[in-house]
């Protein structure tokens, strides 16, 4: 037997063993089939892709988060006392779901501002940073070394020199292109800057697939932000001549406690420092709207259930009048896809808004067949044309709004560390609904684009391949 034959047989053996490993993981059938086909039909590269991105090692590496979860529950309960907390009866099942799954408590007395562009958001954030007296906590996927990154760094350095404690958590993969010197400048000024799960050889394969995609800002435990914006100039100027459309929420009130808890858990995870002092949960004024109730819900690879996805499913299935969704990427798990089709078939006004052109060609092609499925099911699919739509929110029946870092795709719902705020308030829902309707004037319905609805054979083949591997994107 020749050497080439021996190598071929050895390679085939490795392929069979790897596919058996995929099968024994007992994942979703769609993801199992996708990995099996990639491994078999893409020589060598398929194996490497599975080794780096497919092997599930999360439970072995992340079990300590559960301990920290319990510690922060006790500390928050000790310092937080809510008066006049009355939960809306129709939303109690969803509220209880989050409480029972992850102890995501509901909080009243909140004021919510909706920020829909980078200029408004970063000016607001800089103003709030300037007022900080005790601490500033930042938890982001990207903290870029550009003009905006330097402007924010200068503001944080100024506060650090005034004695304000500043902590920054950034994602190592999201900031791969940022030089160490950028963060070292902050550290030299007394600011604590820590990467989330640094990816290095030989631990590359164990960490690269599980990233912290959250965008959370907390100032003095009194003001918080959550949404889709990182710290990078493109969130103001856009890129490739495309304006950037995004959504952030600014929160004052008890709901900031839940943002604080999310940050402190992440900080313990990366720094092993337990922060549970009362200073992080200051007393909030009772003058804020009593009945604006919020919950901050997180999802992560370690969780027994994908909690944000559970929340999406509950909202979709409970919709009676309308359901409006914005997401930059639409590569939904089967459960979400089926729930949206069912809602539309039941007569709910379901509208789904995505950018006409994504920032990733493979993701765009993967989403096209899903979007056509939505049109065929009676969903009104709207393609945003004014720029790149990076906004991530859902609003339902003038009663529930959720906004945060979660995209409607496999990666956000299963692999990433994400955070969304769920808001039970008619006024906020109506304002978010109006944001959607304003954006709708800048869209084109997908069903009016003949080439997208009736693509050529090669285009359909590309869409089908993209859909097949969508669980891996």
- Residues serving a catalytic function are 213, 215, 220, 390, 392, 397
Six token digits for residue 443 = 């869209």
Nearest to 69 by CA among 265, 258, 233: 265
CA-only gyration radius of the chain, Å: 23
d(CA 332, CA 339): 11
d(CA 473, CA 469): 7
Helix (H) or strand (E) holding 156: helix 147-161
d(CA 185, CA 315): 45
Helix (H) or strand (E) holding 407: none
d(CA 451, CA 158): 54
| Residue whose pair of structure tokens reads 């909140």 in the numeric block | 110
Nearest to 265 by CA among 81, 79, 102, 95: 102
The 10 Å Cβ neighbour count of residue 318 is 18
Per DSSP, which regions of 322-405 are E strands? 322-326, 330-331, 349-355, 380-384, 388-389, 393-396, 400-404
Report the residue count for the chain: 473
**CB neighbour list of residue 339: distance below 8 Å, 6 or more residues apart:** 312, 313, 316, 317
Nearest to 156 by CA among 137, 178, 176: 137
d(CA 31, CA 414): 11
**CB neighbour list of residue 212: distance below 8 Å, 6 or more residues apart:** 139, 141, 169, 171, 174, 196, 197, 266, 416, 417
d(CA 412, CA 403): 13
Six token digits for residue 150 = 């330097």
Torsion angle, alpha carbons of 352, 356, 360, 362, to 10: 80
């Amino acid at each position: 037997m020749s050497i080439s034959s021996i190598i071929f047989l050895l390679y085939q053996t490795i392929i069979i063993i790897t596919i058996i490993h995929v099968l024994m993981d007992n994942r979703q059938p769609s993801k199992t089939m996708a990995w099996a086909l990639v491994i078999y039909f893409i020589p060598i590269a398929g194996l490497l892709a599975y080794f780096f991105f497919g092997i599930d090692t999360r439970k072995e590496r992340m079990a300590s988060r559960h301990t920290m979860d319990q510690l922060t529950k006790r500390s928050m309960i000790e310092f937080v006392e809510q008066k006049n907390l009355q939960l809306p009866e129709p939303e109690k099942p969803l509220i209880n779901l989050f409480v029972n799954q992850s102890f995501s408590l509901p909080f009243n007395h909140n004021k919510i501002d909706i920020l829909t562009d980078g200029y408004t958001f970063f000016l607001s954030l800089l103003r709030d940073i300037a007022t900080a007296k005790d601490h500033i906590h930042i938890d982001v996927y990207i903290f870029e070394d550009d003009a905006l990154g330097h402007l924010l760094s200068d503001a944080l350095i100024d506060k650090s020199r005034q004695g304000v404690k500043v902590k920054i958590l950034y994602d190592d993969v999201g900031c791969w292109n940022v030089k160490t010197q950028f963060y070292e400048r902050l550290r030299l000024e007394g600011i604590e800057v820590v990467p989330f799960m640094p990816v290095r050889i030989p631990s590359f394969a164990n960490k690269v697939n599980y990233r912290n995609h959250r965008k959370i800002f907390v100032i003095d435990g009194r003001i918080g932000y959550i949404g889709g914006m990182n710290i990078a100039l493109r969130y103001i100027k856009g890129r490739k001549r495309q304006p950037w459309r995004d959504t952030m929420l600014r929160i004052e009130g008890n709901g900031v406690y839940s943002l604080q808890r999310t940050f402190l858990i992440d900080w313990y995870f990366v720094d092993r420092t337990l922060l549970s002092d009362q200073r992080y949960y200051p007393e909030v004024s009772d003058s804020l709207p009593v009945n604006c109730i919020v919950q901050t819900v997180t999802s992560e690879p370690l969780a027994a259930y994908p909690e944000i996805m559970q929340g999406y499913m509950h909202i979709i299935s409970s919709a009676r009048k309308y359901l409006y969704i914005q997401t930059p990427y639409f590569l939904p798990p089967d459960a979400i896809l089926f729930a949206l089709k069912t809602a539309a078939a039941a007569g709910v006004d379901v509208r789904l808004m995505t950018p006409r052109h994504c920032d990733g060609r493979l993701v765009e092609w993967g989403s096209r067949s899903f979007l056509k499925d939505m049109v065929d099911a009676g969903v009104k699919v709207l393609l945003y044309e004014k720029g790149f739509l990076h906004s991530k929110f859902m609003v339902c029946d003038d009663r529930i709004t959720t906004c945060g870092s979660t995209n409607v795709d496999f990666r956000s719902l299963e692999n990433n560390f994400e955070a969304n705020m769920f808001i039970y308030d008619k006024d906020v829902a109506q304002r978010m609904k109006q944001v959607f309707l304003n954006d709708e004037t800048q869209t084109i319905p997908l069903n009016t684009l003949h080439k997208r609805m009736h693509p050529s054979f090669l285009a359909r083949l590309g869409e089908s391949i993209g859909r097949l591997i969508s669980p891996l994107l």
